[in-house]
Amino acid sequence: MLLVEGAFTLVVFLIFFLLLPRSPAHTKPIHGRFDIFTDRQREIMHGRILLEDASKTEAKAQVTFRGVFQALTDYRLWLHLVLNLAALAPKGGLQLYGPTIIRSLGFSKIHANLLNSVSSFLVVFLSFAIAWASDKTKQRGLWCMVAFLWSITFGGALFGSVSKGKWTKYSLFTMLSSGNALSQGLNDAWLSINVRSAEKRSIGLALAVIGSNAGGLAGKQLFRESDAPKYTRGFLAIVLLYVACLPITGVIMWVYGRQNKKLDRQQSEVAEERPTSTQRYQL
């Protein structure tokens, strides 16, 4: 299984290496062999990105001490870190103990490893689906909540299940695991879209990754041998973590909503003098 995952990761890397543009202004991949965009497409893309946020046309962010200080004192970035910390903790435990939990249901070791991989494929599908819906509606926090409610539903069902059928419990566990980290990409994109400078965006995303990694490490302590084979305390902890993510997401949405109201007031004050176009924060 490790070899399969490693080979898949390598294939994805090669695809990205061959196709990923360097920047909106220089759309040839790093090897410079070909360009998948025409001159007209490049001009349109660059113009749209520039209109949305001029800082996103920068190929590299110049990180300064002042910029680091400003980023570290921006409480909004820390809220995104806390959200990743809480939301990614269940992933750490479920990834590590997934095969063990499935095996405890009555499956062989080989079958447990194979069955554990099903949720990984479902994660890919659900991640694309929820990302598409988020981009289509321009809503980030709302779809983060949808992801959390998915996990709460199946985590709660697994915690309270009285069924002795191994396939029933396996199905619930797979659906719970398939919701693993669905909010991570949404949260990172949410931060990236709402940060106004490339410098702060780079630092903010680094903080978000720190939150993800710290949550994953902490999550490995959710399942204990003393809780085997039902792991009721572990599943209860997972449900409570996802429940905690709901108000955290709500706070972030409220913060950005308040910022939008502030922008609206500022824009209305200067509207009589000259028309302005201000980028609003996405909720």
Max avg pLDDT among 93-102, 103-112, 235-244? 235-244
Structure tokens at 116: 């554990």
Q: How far apart are the first and last CA of the chain?
A: 39
CB of 279 within 8 A of CB of 260? no
- Alpha-carbon distance of 11 to 110, in angstroms, equals 25
Which residue's structure tokens are 């709302």?
142
- Alpha-carbon distance of 183 to 211, in angstroms, equals 13
Q: Which of 130, 137, 140, 123 is nearest to 180 (CA)?
A: 123
pTM value? 0.84
DSSP state of 280: P
CA 193 to chain centre: 13
The string of pLDDT tens digits covering residues 31-48 is 777 777 777 887 787 777
Q: Which helix (H) or strand (E) holds 46?
A: helix 39-52
List of residues 6+ apart from 171 with CB closer than 8 A = none
Biggest CA–CA distance in the chain, Å, is 74
The string of pLDDT tens digits covering residues 144-189 is 999 999 999 999 998 888 777 889 999 999 999 998 889 999 999 9
pLDDT at 53: 62
Domains identified in the chain and CATH numbers: 1-59 (no CATH), 61-264 (1.20.1250.20)
pLDDT at 9: 82
Instruction: Give the helix, strand, coil percentages of the chain, each rounded to 5.
Output: 75, 0, 25
Q: Which of 200, 252, 191, 250 is nearest to 55 (CA)?
A: 200
